[in-house]
């Protein structure tokens, strides 16, 4: 698959063919700057090289099977080559267009509040299937995506190699050219991969789905906490901050009557004290299959104030798409249940 090739992969490919390495840059230019959909349109590439490329690579993308439009948000359902479905959501911000990309078909992390995990993981997405989500949305709306967040269906660190390859491809200045600082990987806390990610020294943002300030509560909400405890996660985060000098985001979904009281806020503040981090409070997207309810806005603000008073950097995530099926996994689940 041509969209799964890093620039270096293509350079090596051409070197092995006895061609100039520079051809790789030309191919990237056709694919990602000029956006052609066939090798035949690559008019500065010799005929015999085109034939070889056709022999060795396919040039296909997933297909859009459903699109929902909300206020400043577009939700897409894609069908993959093997008939599986994944989703992406585009959010229009004042600072740019941010695409929330899926990394797996389903998810095995089993977080109690999450729609994606109701359907178990069928397989990992390949890098080209993640690249394809970006290309399709850009084409469909005739826009440029400026930010990418790996917060769609799946756990990116459970598909580490493909995700890193995907980041390499979209980050290339010769291709889609999305800056590392505009890319965010979100994980439920697969600790060994946090270390590996830190060692990669990329300037890509890291977000941790924390959602609870103590192990007792977190283990009830997130199965992964039985394997990697909060302390392990925090140690990994400290390592990441040391290595990269980047600030880390802690995501905290506000669940009514569960993790939204004053005691939780104080505990969270003391857990994160002194860390180069900030908390993103997320209004819960209610879904019909799961019983959790969203915290009232007033209560979110009370929680926010407590964190602020305790000198924790905190923001409240703007709510997108509650009028459509924007909770990750909702579209796919309804498609699969048809």
Question: Contact between 186 and ligand SAH (CB under 6 A)?
Answer: yes
Q: How far is CA 24 from CA 39, 70, 174, in A?
A: 13, 39, 9
Residue 196's closest CA among 225, 236, 245?
236
Question: Contact between 284 and ligand SAH (CB under 6 A)?
Answer: yes
What is the rounded distance in angstroms from the CA atom of residue 172 to the CA atom of residue 183? Answer: 12
Single out the segment in contact with ligand SAH by CB under 6 A; choices: 82-90, 183-191, 236-244, 269-277: 183-191
Single out the segment in contact with ligand SAH by CB under 6 A; choices: 42-50, 161-169, 261-269, 284-292: 284-292
Question: Contact between 251 and ligand SAH (CB under 6 A)?
Answer: yes
| Alpha-carbon 303 to chain mean position | 26
Extract the runs of DSSP E, i.e. beta strands, from the chain: 63-70, 73-79, 85-93, 96-100, 104-105, 123-124, 147-150, 183-187, 205-209, 248-254, 277-283, 313-316
- Give 12's contacts (C-beta < 8 A, 6+ positions apart): none
Catalytic residue among 107, 111, 264, 328: 328
Catalytic residue among 11, 87, 115, 155: 87
Region 20-39 residues binding ligand SAH, contact defined as CB under 6 A: none
What is the rounded distance in angstroms from the CA atom of residue 108 to the CA atom of residue 242? Answer: 30
Among 155, 160, 217, 314, binds ligand SAH (CB under 6 A): 155
Question: Contact between 87 and ligand SAH (CB under 6 A)?
Answer: no
Question: Contact between 6 and ligand SAH (CB under 6 A)?
Answer: no
Strand partners, 252: 281
Do the Cβ atoms of 124 and 162 come closer than 8 Å?
A: yes
Number of residues that bind ligand SAH (CB under 6 A): 19
Among 10, 90, 151, 307, binds ligand SAH (CB under 6 A): 151
| 188 among known catalytic residues | no
Among 30, 85, 113, 128, binds ligand SAH (CB under 6 A): 113
Query: Containing H/E element for 170?
Result: helix 160-171
Question: Contact between 187 and ligand SAH (CB under 6 A)?
Answer: yes
| 11 among known catalytic residues | no
Can you tell me whether residue 144 is helix, strand or coil? coil
Nearer to ligand SAH, 109 or 204 (CB): 109
Single out the segment in contact with ligand SAH by CB under 6 A; choices: 7-15, 175-183, 184-192, 306-314: 184-192
- Give the interface with ligand SAH as residue ranges (CB under 6 A): 109, 111, 113-115, 151, 155, 186-188, 209, 251, 253, 282, 284-285, 287, 327-328
Query: Any idea which residues carry the catalytic annotation?
Result: 87, 328
């Amino acid at each position: 698959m041509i969209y799964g090739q890093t620039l270096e992969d293509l350079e090596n490919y051409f070197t092995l063919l006895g061609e100039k390495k520079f051809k790789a840059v030309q191919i990237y230019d056709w694919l990602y700057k000029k956006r052609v959909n066939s090798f035949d349109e690559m008019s500065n590439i010799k005929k015999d090289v085109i034939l070889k490329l056709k022999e060795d690579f396919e040039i296909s993308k997933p297909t859009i099977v459903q699109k929902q439009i909300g206020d400043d948000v577009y939700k897409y359902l894609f069908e993959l080559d093997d008939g599986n479905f994944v989703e992406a959501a585009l959010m229009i911000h004042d600072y740019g267009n941010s695409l929330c990309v899926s990394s797996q078909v389903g998810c095995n992390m089993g977080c109690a509040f999450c729609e994606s995990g109701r359907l178990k993981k069928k397989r990992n997405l390949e890098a080209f299937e993640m690249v394809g989500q970006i290309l399709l949305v850009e084409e469909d709306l005739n826009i440029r995506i400026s930010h990418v967040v790996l917060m769609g269906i799946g756990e990116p660190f459970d598909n580490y190699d493909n995700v890193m390859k995907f980041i390499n491809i979209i980050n290339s200045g010769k291709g889609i050219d999305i800056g590392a600082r505009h890319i965010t990987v979100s994980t439920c806390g697969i600790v060994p991969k946090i270390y590996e990610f830190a060692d990669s020294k990329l300037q890509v943002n890291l977000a941790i789905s924390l959602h609870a300030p103590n192990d007792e509560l977190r283990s009830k909400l997130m199965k992964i906490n039985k394997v990697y405890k909060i302390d392990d996660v925090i140690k990994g985060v400290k390592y990441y901050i040391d290595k990269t000098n980047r600030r880390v985001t802690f995501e905290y979904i506000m669940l009514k009557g569960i993790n939204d009281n004053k005691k939780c806020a104080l505990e969270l503040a003391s857990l994160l004290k002194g860390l180069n981090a900030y908390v993103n409070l997320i209004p819960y997207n209610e879904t019909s299959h799961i019983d959790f309810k969203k915290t009232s806005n007033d209560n979110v603000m009370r929680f926010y104030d407590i964190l602020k008073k305790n000198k924790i950097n905190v923001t409240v995530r703007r709510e997108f798409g509650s009028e459509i099926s924007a909770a990750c996994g909702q579209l796919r689940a309804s498609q699969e249940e048809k």
